[in-house]
Chain A
């Protein structure tokens, strides 16, 4: 399985944008980039996914580098409810998800 690398932790101020990076230098052409987040004491929650083009949904935006070796999850305006562990995962079709340790995001009021 291709692996991803994320910072262990990040902090951001409330109501400011947050850019969460993910490196995946060994990504293959058929790997999709998925992002999930896990709020305290809850199960993971799907955030967004993409293949080559940038993607937007109501929760976040996903910016994918042209060579696909890195991507960035963008939360446009962080709130306290966005404090969570964010997981960047490569996935092919309906293959199983392989979770790393993710990035713990702290929002400062």
Chain B
């Protein structure tokens, strides 16, 4: 059982280039999330999805776009990379939960380390 898989693990981009980070989960989870973590800081939510075909903005959405065309995949796009987007990006997923048991743990991938020169 792979859990949450992120590709690529490392990437170096030049300013202005575009790229897509892929997150795949095999746990049939409804919710998926993209976070970024800068040195010495906690994770900040970029975008999230509560189901296939839906996306919503998180705390720091500017400069990023996302898509959830398939339930198991959540893509994070950078259309024109900037040095300020140098960070470690984490994807997470969680199940829907039922009734009062809606507090479902999030399962995280191991991150994508992105450097923008």
Residues of A within 8 A of B (CB): 32, 34, 36, 41-46, 49, 87, 91, 93-94, 96-102
Residues of B within 8 A of A (CB): 4, 31, 33, 35, 40-45, 48, 58-59, 90, 92, 94, 96-97, 102-111
| Given A42-B111, A43-B92, A45-B108: A99 in contact with B44 (beta carbons within 8 A) | yes
A77 to B36, CA, bound (A): 32
Q: Which residues of B contact A102 (CB under 8 A)?
A: 42
Evaluate contact between A44 and B43: CB separation under 8 angstroms. yes
Evaluate contact between B110 and A42: CB separation under 8 angstroms. yes
Evaluate contact between B107 and A99: CB separation under 8 angstroms. no
Contacts A49-B105, A94-B104, A96-B45 supplied; 6 other A-B pairs, CB < 8 Å: A44-B90, A94-B96, A97-B43, A98-B59, A99-B42, A101-B41
Evaluate contact between B103 and A100: CB separation under 8 angstroms. no
Q: Which residues of A contact B31 (CB under 8 A)?
A: 94
Evaluate contact between A87 and B109: CB separation under 8 angstroms. no
Q: Which of B33, B42, B102 lies in contact with A93, CB distance below 8 A? A: B102
What are some 24 contacts across the A-B interface (CB < 8 A)? A34-B105, A36-B106, A43-B4, A43-B108, A44-B43, A44-B90, A44-B92, A44-B106, A44-B108, A46-B105, A46-B107, A49-B105, A87-B42, A93-B102, A94-B31, A94-B94, A94-B102, A96-B48, A96-B59, A97-B43, A97-B45, A97-B106, A99-B42, A101-B42
A78 to chain B, nearest CB (A): 22
Q: Which residues of A contact B111 (CB under 8 A)?
A: 41-43
A40 to B40, CA, bound (A): 12
